Amino acid sequence: MTNSKQPLSKKEIPSLYPAKTKMQVTVIFFVVLAMYLYSMISTQQQMTSGFGNALSNMGQVIEKFFPPNPSVIMPILPAIIETIQMAIIATTVAALFTVPLSLLAARNITTVKPLYYISRTFLNILRTIPDLVLAVIFVGLFGIGVFPGILALIVFSIGILAKLISETIEAVDMNPLEAMRASGGNVFQVIWYALVPQVLPQFTSLVLYVFEINIRASLVLGLVGAGGIGLILNQQLQFYNYPNAMMIIIVIFVVVIIIEYISTKIREALL
């Protein structure tokens, strides 16, 4: 009679994964490794000067930017505030437009397939256009200033927010929604009482996350004339006022760190 509690030898222990899965993972690993190696070799061939010259030039570049000029802090404060205002307005407007779009782009909410696919395609188109290109287009339409920058940030934010929130909606527990439908609730009642309580913390967290992104994006948009502190930074670089540009970069860094810290604390409190 054999002992059933006797431990199995290594040859008798069954594998956790089937042989087909192991083969697929191995093939994917080597394909990804080959892509990395090809990218490293290809980019190295395109480096005409190499790392040696870059390191030697680093000292000259740093010497131009230091020491920063602290006298520009007070004059640029209005532009910093304007940049934050751009991000606040754009994020707020985008969050409002995101609500219906994310519901239409959620497979478990929108049962009409053509409407679902049209919404998904529209959001994919929005995400395809870079924010810098949007800023160039709106600056061409409305001229240099804050307004084209806000429009570019709104379109850019809608593409990100609607995608993330629609995926959050698709991952919710459907039992409360089915219970509301079974008790005779209409579409709006199902969304308000069964869906909103489940996605509201994630929605708020994602809006704050996009607000952080918009602060950084608004700096870049200023380089093409879309207002904010980026516009002043671009002017200083064009006039070779590198100490002024360095001081602006330091101020921007401090502002971004402060906003990111506040946003992180709020998101931690919500989740």
Residue 6 reports pLDDT greater than 60: no
**What pLDDT is attached to residue 93?**
92
Task: Flag whether pLDDT at 5 surpasses 60.
Answer: no
Q: What is the pLDDT of residues 13-35, one digit of tens each?
A: 666 677 778 888 889 999 999 98
Alpha-carbon gap, residue 104 to 43, rounded angstroms? 42
Residue 19 counted as domain residue = no
Higher pLDDT, 131 or 55: 131
Yes or no: say if 248 and 78 are a contact pair by the CB < 8 Å rule: no
Tell whether 42 is covered by a domain: no
What pLDDT score was predicted for residue 13?
64
Of 42-51, 59-68, 112-121, 234-243, the one with minimum mean pLDDT is: 42-51
Beta-carbon contacts of residue 153 (< 8 Å; ≥ 6 apart): 86, 87, 90, 91, 94, 131, 214, 217, 218, 221
Residue 229 falls within a domain, yes or no? yes
Is 102 part of a structural domain of the chain?
yes
Is the pLDDT assigned to residue 254 strictly greater than 80? yes
pLDDT of 64 > 60? The answer is: yes
What pLDDT was estimated at residue 1?
Answer: 45
d(CA 207, CA 186): 28
H-type alpha helices, 129-145? 131-142
Listed ranges 126-130, 136-140, 163-167; the one with the highest mean pLDDT: 163-167
Give the per-residue pLDDT at 260.
79
Residue 173, domain member (yes or no): yes
In this structure, of 12-21, 107-116, 209-218, the range with the lowest mean pLDDT score is: 12-21
What pLDDT, on the 0 to 100 scale, is given for residue 150? 86
Amino acid 141: pLDDT: 84
Within-domain flag for 63: no
Q: Count of domains in the chain?
A: 1
The model's confidence at residue 12, banded by pLDDT at 50, 70 and 90, is low
Q: Please report, for residues 22, 27, 29, 47, 125, the alpha-carbon distance to residue 34 in angstroms, rounded to integers and kept in the order given.
A: 18, 11, 9, 20, 31
CATH code of residue 107: 1.10.3720.10
Domain extent at residue 228: 71-269
Q: Which residue has the higher pLDDT, 37 or 14?
A: 37
The secondary structure element, H or E, covering residue 219 is: helix 196-221
Q: Is residue 90 part of a domain?
A: yes
pLDDT tens digits, one per residue of 179-196: 888 888 787 888 888 888
Mean pLDDT score of the chain: 81
For the chain, give the longest Cα–Cα distance: 92
Higher pLDDT, 210 or 43: 210
Q: Which residues, other chains included, contact 241 with Cβ-Cβ below 8 Å and sequence gap of 6+?
A: 69
Residue 252 falls within a domain, yes or no? yes
Question: At residue 11, does pLDDT exceed 60?
Answer: no
